[in-house]
């Protein structure tokens, strides 16, 4: 990676609301949910990768890194193996080539992967301007930094996102899916 890439770390306060059960899996046994692979954007790119890889073992901490190719506002959503939708970031302002860690190693917070095993996905929505497509009724609970448990199933989440993006100039947004897997021991 280029030495010009800046790294920004999330402060601990931003992550205070995050609970491992909400983010990665849950103890409930549910049928696998449909996790569309959405990778679209005409004028700029949103990228993400799991560290060290996209297979998370139950009991291990997880981390992802993200960047955009142009100044953008990034919102990050997670659909767990039990089909729960969580907003992890809301309109987080990023600079081109800046790498953002979630959760931040410097915060001391570890998000530990919980069962059930199966596929899950992180959806990164980047826009040139701040972008909201959720209503207050969609949010079950909200904590520091805009982290929120949503009252939407994955299908409702994707319909709401697609409807909202249909009203935005296609040159002004980019969506990326990071597909990951929770693996049982």
| 16 pLDDT above the threshold of 50 | no
Tell me which residue of 55, 38, 56 sits closest to 46, measured CA to CA: 38
Domain boundaries defined on the chain: 7-183
* Per-residue model confidence (pLDDT) at position 20: 34
Q: Report pLDDT digits (tens) over 90-102.
A: 999 999 989 999 8
Averaged over 122-131, what is the pLDDT?
96
* Per-residue model confidence (pLDDT) at position 175: 95
| 120 pLDDT above the threshold of 60 | yes
Tell me which residue of 122, 116, 35 sits closest to 81, measured CA to CA: 116
| 65 pLDDT above the threshold of 70 | yes
* Per-residue model confidence (pLDDT) at position 105: 73
The DSSP secondary structure of 18-86, one letter per residue, reads --HHHHS--SS--PPPP-----EESS--EEEEEES-SEEETTSB-EEEEEESSSEEEEEEEE-TT--EE
| 26 pLDDT above the threshold of 60 | no
Higher pLDDT among residues 185 and 30, named by residue: 185
Task: Say how many C-beta atoms besides its own lie within 10 A of residue 87's C-beta.
Answer: 23
Do the Cβ atoms of 171 and 106 come closer than 8 Å?
A: no
Q: How far is Cα 149 from Cα 184, in angstroms, rounded to an integer?
A: 24
3-state secondary structure of 149: strand
Give percent of the chain with pLDDT exceeding 70. 79
| 123 pLDDT above the threshold of 90 | yes
Q: Report pLDDT digits (tens) over 66-86.
A: 999 999 999 999 999 999 999
Do the Cβ atoms of 173 and 126 come closer than 8 Å?
A: yes
Averaged over 30-44, what is the pLDDT?
82
């Amino acid at each position: 990676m280029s030495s010009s890439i800046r790294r920004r770390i999330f402060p601990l306060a931003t992550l205070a609301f995050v609970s491992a059960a909400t983010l990665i899996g849950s103890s409930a046994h549910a049928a696998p949910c449909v996790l569309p692979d959405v990778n679209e954007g005409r004028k700029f790119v949103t990228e993400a990768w799991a560290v060290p890889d996209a297979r998370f073992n139950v009991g291990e901490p997880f981390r992802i890194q993200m960047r955009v190719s142009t100044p953008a506002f990034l919102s990050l959503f997670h659909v767990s193996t039990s089909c729960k939708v969580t907003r992890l970031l809301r309109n987080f302002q990023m600079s081109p080539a800046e790498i953002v860690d979630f959760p931040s190693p410097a915060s001391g917070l570890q998000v530990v992967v919980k069962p059930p095993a199966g596929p899950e996905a992180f959806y990164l929505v980047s826009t040139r301007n701040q972008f909201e497509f959720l209503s207050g009724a969609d949010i079950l609970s909200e904590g520091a930094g805009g982290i929120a448990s949503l009252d939407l199933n994955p299908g409702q989440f994707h319909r709401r996102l697609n409807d909202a993006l249909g009203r935005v100039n296609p040159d002004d947004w980019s969506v990326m899916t990071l597909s990951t897997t929770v693996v049982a021991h």
